[in-house]
Chain A
């Protein structure tokens, strides 16, 4: 793991986070490491460490966190959040970081494809006639193969 360079700290980042859902509680962290010890991702890959991410955010390392690959490794499993003795909403915080990273233009291709498919088709796995044939074969009802309401819910300006 590379050394963290504190010179790039952005002192407003902490405040920016505190005002958004998922970011309100992180300053209560007293570094007990329960989150990291509970994390199934840390268990298989030490590149990922939720406490380290919280500390980096509290130090104001905005750029480094929001351009990182590692925030995307959180599986949103809530193991950490359920156990944090300080009531830090760690999972929600990870979601917030991912959302902020997307606003800055950083997201893994797989996540981008998922988002665009859902916003365009209303489903992550759009259904085609072949799927409906397989469904019919086992007497399951057909599923619509197109979805118009997403255009109304997400008019182009939102995208």
Chain B
């Protein structure tokens, strides 16, 4: 199993813990993640201001994977949505693709269709399979109570995602987490957005949206939150302190990436999974797990 590894912008700059843990888990499962130096921003953060340019950036990245004859594996849900959407709209030969290829010709590239884009979690489920993933688990995480945050662009818009999960009743991430023995607890507002895209527009609105979910999760009694997108992590992990001081609340809720949870079950240690880089300290869950 070999993929062009699309890191995007946020992960290499702000989420080394996600990248580290994903590389460890991939290694263990025999997934080869090929780094492509020339990849640029997926275009997602520019969709609101200039969606044509965002599409050009997406298509440029698809071309680089095409040149290597590889499908793309992403860690960020926004990258997943942007690149999948562009791949979807350029999948057929026609005026849309011609127009984009006109733009790409300035960089000496031409997109021919056919590159598949998938989130890391989806690759685990579809290409590796839960049985094989489970074979590599050596630690039981049954003392951990997790609340899953799916976020938006991991699943939506559903029309571009071939129905790999159900938007109104998603199961894919908890299926993977449950394999470790960890308990998945339900909470109201599970499908709510993190508010991240509003952060550069009106910080207080974005933080209010994130706050509602933290309230719900802490009320439900979770030890940790589990997510699959660095944008969401910026809201819940990086900004948890700001939310606490803005609204006078107290959460102290560790925010883990799916790959950090899977990595713990595989027996990797704290540093190998970048758990020491998480903003909200993760020590209390590690001691709860006897790690």
- A interface list, Cβ under 8 A from B: 40-41, 43-45, 48, 72-73, 75-79, 81-82, 91, 95, 98-99, 102, 107-108, 110-115, 118-119, 122-125, 127, 131, 134-135, 138, 140-141, 143-144, 147, 149-150, 152-155, 158
B195-217: CB near A (< 8 Å → 1, else 0) gives 11111111001101100100000
A108 touching B200 by the CB < 8 A rule?
yes
Residues of A within 8 A of B53 (CB): 119, 153-154, 158
Pick the 7 closest A-B CB pairs, nearest first: A110-B200, A77-B193, A125-B13, A78-B156, A122-B40, A44-B208, A124-B9
A123 touching B197 by the CB < 8 A rule?
no
A125-B14 contact, Cβ under 8 Å, with A79-B152, A99-B48, A149-B60: yes
Residues of A within 8 A of B23 (CB): 140
CA A122 – CA B41 in complex, angstroms? 6
B35 touching A138 by the CB < 8 A rule?
no
| Closest chain A CB from B36 CB (angstroms) | 11
Residues of B within 8 A of A153 (CB): 53, 56-57, 60, 103-104, 106-107
Residues of B within 8 A of A141 (CB): 35
Whether, in the assembled complex, B91 has its beta carbon less than 8 Å from a beta carbon of chain A, the answer is no
- What is the chain A residue whose CB lies nearest that of B51? A99
| Closest chain B CB from A92 CB (angstroms) | 8
| Closest chain B CB from A104 CB (angstroms) | 12
Residues of A within 8 A of B197 (CB): 75-77
Whether, in the assembled complex, B50 has its beta carbon less than 8 Å from a beta carbon of chain A, the answer is yes
- What is the chain A residue whose CB lies nearest that of B211? A44
Whether, in the assembled complex, B10 has its beta carbon less than 8 Å from a beta carbon of chain A, the answer is yes
Whether, in the assembled complex, B283 has its beta carbon less than 8 Å from a beta carbon of chain A, the answer is no
B50 touching A115 by the CB < 8 A rule?
yes
A40-B60 contact, Cβ under 8 Å, with A98-B49, A134-B16: no
CA A81 – CA B168 in complex, angstroms? 12
13 other contacts beyond A111-B201, A118-B57, A152-B107, with CB at 8 A cut-off?
A: A43-B212, A45-B208, A75-B152, A77-B156, A115-B46, A118-B41, A119-B53, A124-B9, A135-B16, A140-B20, A149-B40, A149-B107, A153-B104
| Closest chain A CB from B150 CB (angstroms) | 11
CA A118 – CA B158 in complex, angstroms? 27
| Closest chain A CB from B74 CB (angstroms) | 15
A78-B152 contact, Cβ under 8 Å, with A41-B198, A118-B46, A135-B16: yes
| Closest chain A CB from B270 CB (angstroms) | 12
Instruction: Kindly name the residue among B13, B35, B168, B199 whose own CB sees the greatest number of chain A CB atoms within 10 A.
Output: B13
Residues of A within 8 A of B48 (CB): 72, 76, 95, 98-99, 111
